[in-house]
Amino acid sequence: MTNEEIKQHIITGLPNASFDETGEWLQVLVPVDAWKQFAQWLRSDALQMDFLFCLTCVDWAATPAGKALLTMVYHFTSTVFRHTLVVKVKLDRNNPEIETISDCWRTAEMHEREVFDLFGVQFLHHPDLRRLVLTDDFEGHPLRKDFEDPINMIKL
């Protein structure tokens, strides 16, 4: 499916989605309250985005425009149609909460745990939301831009 067709599909289901075509792939920005329904629709509908190949988060605190902003970035592709879509969801940095998608894509379970561990994003209804690589009593979320560790972090 071409980008234009994907766009038309998405607009019919989610009229307030905004698009960005400057990157390599089509990007769509989805409001956080519509995310879960949108994800289920991506998986099941004509788009058949069955392969979630990258799930991550970006902390914008070090930029002037994004003092209170985290962005979840999901890279989907379809093994049937071979089209790719990047979905972004903006979160409130002080209280980041988003619905899990581990019930739609199994790979999301571990990736979401990693994001929870390193960014502190709360994934609602996640089956097993614990820290993944750091110890349970670790304080802070290292990949956030304001994380400080004077002993172990070397600044160049």
Chain positions contacting other proteins, by CB under 8 A: 22-25, 50-54, 56, 58-59, 62-63, 73, 75, 79, 82, 105-107, 109-111, 114, 118, 128, 132-135, 142-143, 147, 153-156
Q: Is 75 helix (H, G, I), strand (E, B) or coil?
A: strand
Return the structure tokens found at 78: 């379809």
Cα 52 to Cα 22, 84, 102, 136: the distances in Å are 21, 10, 10, 27
- Smallest gap from residue 53 Cβ to other proteins (A): 6
**Toward other proteins, which CB reaches closer, 21 or 33?**
21
Q: Which of 71, 76, 73, 21 is nearest to 45 (CA)?
A: 76
**Toward other proteins, which CB reaches closer, 8 or 18?**
18
Q: Is 14 helix (H, G, I), strand (E, B) or coil?
A: coil
- Smallest gap from residue 99 Cβ to other proteins (A): 18
- Smallest gap from residue 107 Cβ to other proteins (A): 3
**Toward other proteins, which CB reaches closer, 151 or 156?**
156
- Smallest gap from residue 80 Cβ to other proteins (A): 10
List the end-to-end C-alpha distance of the chain, in Å, as a whole number. Answer: 45
- Smallest gap from residue 12 Cβ to other proteins (A): 26
Q: Specify which residues 57 forms β-bridges with.
A: 72
**Toward other proteins, which CB reaches closer, 10 or 57?**
57
**Toward other proteins, which CB reaches closer, 27 or 122?**
27
CA angle 154-114-118, nearest 5°?
Answer: 35
Return the structure tokens found at 1: 């499916």
